[in-house]
Structures are given as structure tokens and as C-alpha cells.
Amino acid sequence: MHPVSETRRVHSFLWIWVIYIFLSPFYIFQSGVPQPADIFIFTGILTLFSYAFLKYSNHDNANITGVYIFGGIFVGLTTAINSVHYFFTPDIKFILHSVYYLFNFLIFIYAILIFRHSPETANKWTYRMVVVICFVQLFVVIFFPDVDNYRASGTFNRSNQLAYWGVLTAAIIVILKRRDPIRLLDLLLFGILGYIEMKALSKAGMIVFAVLLIITLFIPSMSSAMRWFSIFCFVLLFMVKFHNPQHLVSFMSKVDTLEAVSHRLGTLGKQADDTPEARGYGRLLDHPQFLFVGAGEGAHWRFGRQELHSGIATLIFSYSIFGFAFFLMFLGSVFYRLPWHYTAMLIPIFLYGLSHQNIRFSYFWVFLGLAYSWHFFQKEEEDS
């Protein structure tokens, strides 16, 4: 194949990826069904995988690493467990959830294939599109507020989706900086995402975003000067605005966002949905047999309520401790030998997953693919 035509074809796959990043926050249809971004990237996945199969099927040096093995086993196990439960209790959700995991794993592989071919170009355009979508999301949150809900949802259907997207986007920005220093534009993006978190009024989102920002202060890309500049700006803002306690009270009463945040955080642990029982953790103790065989994801009426509101607990209860173990091995293979701050980004992400579904969100698998692609940058350095 002519090198020029092959390069153009690969670049077309990159543009599909970049457009997917832009479209991914736009929820046009109800949650749980494919969105425009999902349909768009699915066509790219089919085309790229067909192209890769034809190009590399006769090569013996296929690089089958742990991420493919453990990820494939995890997806296969979810499909097997859900299929068995569907046979005895027909509920389409069993099948749909298996499709979600397979689809997200394919997105992860798509990201790897794109970055493997041209890591610098893919990283540059992915970062640019993340910058664009942050400003677009800010525009929607400010000028198109939710009419019937005081919590902003932006381009999503629910405020919690917006909050989780904000956390993942901040983590992705850290990943995409690679070895480049954090600049003023990046601090502006963190400020935008912080504002979006406050408008979404997700208690978990605001807390884990604060944890992520603290981690970001100590990443290698954050120079000492920029770190102190960030701290200085915060302290200066606080001193100018709040040097007098009366000014603080007056300011808080005038700013709706801060007032709402204060009220929202003030209810932490007091509302019914903050308890482990309300999140569904009690079923792990009430039905311990599923810790070994898996309950599958579907037919939630079997347990007297809706689905378990925890990504981590869902993996353990729905796919057994063995499925959870394979997922951990998959994560371990993704972050093996990566910089420490890549792995540290998992702390706020999984803290959020203690009280919300966070594994099925496709953007989480985008984050995993971008993190794993660090190996390709490292390989380029070693070869040069």
C-alpha cells in the first residue's frame, strides 16, 4: 500500500476520534440508549478494526498484551454471567449491559490504535478538542440553564453525568499534558471545570474534584513557579474578597452558585440517598451468594429496588469477586509502569464510583486509553 494513502487513511481515523471527543458530552436521546457520539464512533470502530485486521492478519508480531487479555476476559465474563441470568429471567438490561462493556472496551482499543500510529499528533488534536468542548460546556451551562432543575446538567440529561464528565475531563487534561508543563490555559480549564462542578451541585463531584486538584498541584508537569502561582492566586482572591468577615457573608449571599454549593454540602450525610442502604450496599450482605457467582446487571426488582448506585459495588455484586479481580488486573495492566500521577488520577475517579455508576461511562474508557498511550511516547523516546 502506498505510504501516502495509508497516512491519509490513518488521519481519517484520527479525525473520527477527535469528532467523537467533541460529540461525547451531547446527550440528545434518553440515557441508556446510544447517543450520536456512540453511533459515530461505532462506524469508526468497524472501519478501523476491519482495516487493522486486513493489514496485520498475516503478521506474526501482533502485540497481544495484558490489557487485551484481561480486558477481554472481563468483558467475556460479564457477557457469560448476564446471558445465564437472561435465560432464567428475561430482562433486556442483562444484554444491554454486556453490550455497554464490550462497546467501551472497543473504544479503549480504538484509542490505543490511534495513538500507537502517531502519538504526538493524536495527543495534540485530542487536547485541542478537550479545550474546545470545555468552553462549549461552559457556554451551555451559563446561557442555557435547566428550567425545571436548579442543578445544571449542561449538554447531559442529568447533573451527575455532567459532574462526572468534569472530573474525568480534568484527569484527561493532566494525562494529555504528558511531559509538557501546565500553563495558564490549563489553569483556566481547571477553573472552568470547577465552576461547572459547582453548578452541577453533585456533592460527590465537588469533593472528588477538590481531591483531583490537590493531586494536580504535585504532578511533574506542574512547575514550582506555576504551583506557587496557583496557590498565590487563590490566597490573593480570598484576601481581596474576604479580608473582612462581613464581606464574606455579603458575597456568599449574592452569589447563587456559592450559596447553592454551601447548602448542598451542608446536607452531606443527612439526606436519604447518602446512606449505604440507599445506594444498595445492603444487598452484598443480604445476598452473599452472588459475591461468588454474580447477580448480573438486570432484573433489579429481584432485590426490591433499582440498580446498585456504585460502580465498584456493582462489579463485585453483579460479576462476583472473580469478575472484579479480572477488572483490577485489567486496570493493573493499563497503569503498569506509568507515571505515578496517572495512577493517582484513579483516586478521585473511584471515590466518585463509591456512590455513583462510573464504570459504564464511555468517557472513563477514553481516560484509560489515553493513560495507556503513554507507552507509545516512552517508546518514541527510547527509539530516538
Residue 334: closest CA among 139, 156, 67, 71 = 67
- Which pLDDT belongs to residue 2? 54
Residue 49: closest CA among 13, 79, 77, 8 = 13
Q: How many domains does the chain have?
A: 1
Measured distance between the N- and C-terminal CA atoms of the chain, rounded to whole angstroms:
26
* Cβ-Cβ contacts under 8 Å for 320 (sequence gap 6 or more): 81, 290, 291, 292, 293, 294
- Host domain of residue 80: 3-55+63-383
Summarised one tens digit per residue, pLDDT across range 139-152 is 999 998 876 667 88
Dig out the grid coordinates for 17 from the structure.
476520534
Could you give the CA distance from residue 134 to residue 214 in angstroms, rounded to a whole number?
Answer: 20
345 secondary structure, DSSP code: T
Question: Residue 311 CA to chain centroid, in angstroms?
Answer: 12
Going from the C-alpha of 172 to that of each of 73, 127, 135, 220, 330, the distances in angstroms are 26, 9, 15, 15, 19
Residue 241 has pLDDT above 50, yes or no: no
- Which pLDDT belongs to residue 114? 93
Cβ proximity of 290 and 298 under 8 Å:
no
Summarised one tens digit per residue, pLDDT across range 319-376 is 999 999 999 999 999 999 999 999 999 999 999 988 888 899 999 999 999 999 999 9
* Cβ-Cβ contacts under 8 Å for 172 (sequence gap 6 or more): 130, 366, 367, 370
- Which pLDDT belongs to residue 234? 72
Summarised one tens digit per residue, pLDDT across range 65-118 is 889 999 999 999 999 999 999 999 999 999 999 999 999 999 999 999 999 988
- At which residue does the C-alpha cell 447553592 appear? 260
The pTM (predicted TM-score) of the whole model is 0.88
Summarised one tens digit per residue, pLDDT across range 278-297 is 667 888 888 899 999 999 99
* Amino acid identity for residue 360 in this structure: R
Confidence band for 258, pLDDT divided at 50, 70 and 90:
very low
What DSSP string runs through 115-162?
Answer: HHH-HHHHHHHHHHHHHHHHHHHHHHHHHS--SS-SS--TTSSSHHHH
